[in-house]
Amino acid sequence: MTPPLMPHSMIPMQPFDLDDDSAFQAWREARLEPYKSLVGTPVIAVRDVARLESAEHAALLASCRSMNMAIYQAGSPVDKSAIRALGRQFGLESLDMNLRADEDSITTLRVVAESAGTHYIPYTNRPLNWHTDGYYNRPEEQVRGIVMHCVSTSASGGDNLFLDPEIAYLLMRDENADYIRALMQPDAMTIPANIEAGVELRPAQSGPVFSVSASGALHMRYTARTRSIEWKDDRDTRLAAGFLIELLNSDSLYIVRHRLSAGQGIICNNVLHKREAFEDDANTGQTRLLYRARYHERIQGT
């Protein structure tokens, strides 16, 4: 099922202005609309991700415009160059460099033996709590777009859960606009420096949870982890962080659950996501393998 396309003329210009309630209310209605008719997870079939047909491109874009994400089912094998080509068709060009990306900056996600020297959860089969990608990045290198493609699946588990940050913002503003104000503070959430063996790999990084870009797009920087994170010590920030945890752990109808099967992927504006634990079975070849590309741009036209 394809969510309805929201014409640009219908999008109010200032929905994120806390002093403009009528703009917020109009935008609010439009953002909630697609969920009213949502039955299961919409999966958009595409023949070749590297060369989308115009109807396929339009369907993916419509989903990204209304929900900040689209899940596709590819009709032909997808390699890293196809993922690069998929991103380019949506203006996703600048790949984020991270410590453990492969040389081409597209990360291969699979279980890596502990002896290989990594204890990072993405490379294990353990659950991965709610976050947006790159929350530890510098402000000018925030991750705004992501393509994640599933090459093969685990024997069991590994479901992903997704929540559009605009919905998180909307529900929080419904609850208390002061929570939004608190989370827009430039020092709302601080990630301490990453130091390994006495070497500083990344300096401490403070920033807001919610911010609005020059083009008027909402961006969210978040992790639900409680270790290695410092929330600003004020009442509204604490309450806002608590509100988010409660929302993310609820059975909210706005949380999209999906287990990516082989050949499926997601293209999104760095929506909130988590991953459940999974089990591989090397004997049957059921091992989870994903490619992930992170970009500094948002999806063009969203």
- Find the binder of Fe ion among 56, 96, 133, 164 (CB under 5 A): 133
Distance CA 51, CA 55 (A): 12
Distance CA 123, CA 125 (A): 7
End-to-end Cα distance, the chain: 19
Please give the sequence-ordered ranges of beta strands (E in DSSP) within 117-179, or none if there are none.
Answer: 128-131, 145-152, 156-157, 160-163
Q: How far is the CB of 278 from Fe ion (least distance, A)?
A: 15
Q: Of 7-15, 59-67, 128-136, 153-161, which segment contacts Fe ion by CB under 5 A?
A: 128-136
Six-digit token pair at 146? 């992501």
Rounded to the nearest 10 degrees, what angle do helices 21-36 and 54-67 cross at? Answer: 130
Q: How far is the CB of 220 from Fe ion (least distance, A)?
A: 13
Q: How far is the CB of 53 from Fe ion (least distance, A)?
A: 29
Q: Is 118 within 8 Å of 272 (Cβ atoms)?
A: no
Residue nearest to Fe ion (CB): 133
Question: In this structure, what are the phi and psi dihedrals at residue 258, rounded to the nearest 5 degrees?
Answer: -155, 135
Q: Please list every residue from 137 through 156 that binds Fe ion, using CB under 5 A.
A: none
Our finding on whether 96 is near Fe ion (CB under 5 A) is no
Q: Of 31-39, 129-137, 149-157, 192-200, which segment contacts Fe ion by CB under 5 A?
A: 129-137
Q: Of 113-121, 132-140, 229-237, 252-260, which segment contacts Fe ion by CB under 5 A?
A: 132-140
Number of residues interacting with Fe ion: please give it, by CB under 5 A.
1
Distance set, CA 226 to CA 60, 118, 158, 220, 223 (Å) = 35, 21, 22, 17, 8
HSE-up of residue 64 (Cα within 13 Å, Cβ side): 26
50 or 67: whose CB is closer to Fe ion? Answer: 67
Q: How far is the CB of 17 from Fe ion (least distance, A)?
A: 30
H helix and E strand count, the chain: 6, 19
96 or 133: whose CB is closer to Fe ion? Answer: 133
Q: How far is the CB of 273 from Fe ion (least distance, A)?
A: 6
Q: How far is the CB of 234 from Fe ion (least distance, A)?
A: 28
Q: How far is the CB of 275 from Fe ion (least distance, A)?
A: 8
98 or 252: whose CB is closer to Fe ion? Answer: 98
Q: Of 71-79, 92-100, 125-133, 238-246, which segment contacts Fe ion by CB under 5 A?
A: 125-133
Residues binding Fe ion (CB under 5 A) = 133
